[in-house]
């Protein structure tokens, strides 16, 4: 009961940590400049990634997602391995509480978001928010914007991740989209689908090599190509030390607790 009440406190405060993103057009990176744009409806997104503290409250209130209970089909053995093991349970250290939770699978991340009547953001939603710089909705208009992101991608992973909110907010008031961790998206495995109705189950092989930039909306945006390449390599059960998540919501989503 106590654990449920603690997690409820997170739920009650969750809406205060989200921002509204207006609807707008979005053109996937791998589409050509002449291809139709995709309309992204208005949605809300967490201003920061989910922390170890928040995820600890979630697993305490939902024992089926504790590391000793989660089925292997839903997560690799490395699930929450950065937490210390004590009395057959894993818990983050005090230094980790405000750092983003990692070593979580897509299934676990989606379950966390649904427990708060939210969901993971779609690729289009995440990319729309992440394309903003600190001062503009479209960061590509600023000199060295993409280069700064690439420089972060080239840095080695740190043993202890910084606290969330350690990077300045972007134009929309969202922190840590670049410079902290990679993040799960709801439809991560659709990034390389051809898009043709008769070939939706087939992968466009050009996107695995340099030809992927040919005819792309912005061939110079190597940082975005890296994100799409990274997503295409994932499986839903993967639990990686630099992969976490944040939640989103819209009028359409309404879920039962998992």
Higher pLDDT, 202 or 126: 126
Quick one: pLDDT band at residue 143, thresholds 50, 70, 90?
A: confident
The residues spanned by each domain of the chain are 2-249
User: pLDDT of 13-40, one tens digit each?
Assistant: 444 599 999 998 766 655 556 666 778 9
Long-range own/partner contacts, residues 147-152 (CB < 8 A, 24 or more apart): 148/178, 149/178, 149/179, 149/223, 150/222, 150/223, 150/226, 152/178, 152/179
Give the pLDDT of residue 198: 38
* 8 Å CB contact between 247 and 106: no
DSSP state letter for 208: G
Higher-confidence residue of 144 and 4: namely: 144
- Lookup: tokens for 32: 């050509």
Tell me the pLDDT of the chain averaged across its residues.
Answer: 79
Q: Which of residues 222 and 98 earns the better pLDDT score?
A: 98
Dist CA 235 CA 233 (whole Å):
7
Task: Tell me the per-residue pLDDT of 189-234, one tens digit each, with 9 for 90 and over.
Answer: 875 544 443 344 443 433 333 333 344 445 456 667 677 777 888 8
pLDDT tens profile 36-94: 677 899 999 999 999 999 999 999 999 999 999 999 999 999 999 999 988 778 999 99
Are the C-beta atoms of 31 and 37 separated by less than 8 Å? Answer: no
Residue of 130 and 205 predicted with greater confidence: 130
pTM (2 d.p.): 0.80
pLDDT the model gives residue 207: 36
**Cβ atoms within 10 A of the Cβ of 228, count?**
19
pLDDT given at position 72: 93
Determine the CATH number of domain 2-249.
3.90.1580
The per-residue pLDDT for 29 is 58
């Amino acid at each position: 009961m106590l654990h449920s009440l603690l997690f409820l406190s997170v739920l009650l405060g969750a809406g205060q940590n989200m921002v509204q993103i207006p609807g707008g057009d979005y053109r996937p990176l791998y589409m050509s400049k002449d291809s139709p744009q995709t309309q992204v409806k208005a949605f809300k997104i967490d201003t920061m990634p989910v922390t170890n503290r928040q995820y600890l409250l979630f697993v305490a209130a939902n024992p089926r997602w504790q590391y000793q209970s989660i089925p292997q089909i839903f997560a690799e053995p490395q699930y929450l391995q950065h937490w210390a093991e004590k009395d057959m349970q894993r818990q983050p250290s005090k230094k980790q509480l405000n750092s983003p939770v990692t070593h979580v699978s897509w299934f676990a991340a989606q379950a966390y978001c649904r427990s708060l009547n939210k969901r993971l953001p779609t690729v289009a939603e995440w990319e729309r928010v992440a394309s903003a710089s600190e001062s503009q909705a479209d960061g590509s208009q600023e000199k060295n914007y993409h280069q700064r992101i690439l420089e972060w991608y080239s840095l080695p992973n740190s043993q202890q991740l910084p606290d969330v909110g350690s990077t300045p907010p972007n134009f929309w008031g969202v922190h840590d989209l670049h410079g902290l961790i990679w993040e799960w998206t709801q439809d991560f495995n659709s990034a390389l689908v051809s898009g043709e109705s008769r070939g939706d189950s087939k992968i466009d092989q050009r996107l695995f090599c340099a030809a992927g930039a040919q005819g792309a909306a912005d061939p110079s945006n190597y940082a975005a190509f890296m994100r799409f390449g990274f997503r295409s390599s994932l499986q839903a059960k993967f639990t990686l030390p630099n992969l976490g998540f944040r939640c989103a919501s819209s009028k359409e989503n309404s879920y039962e607790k998992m």
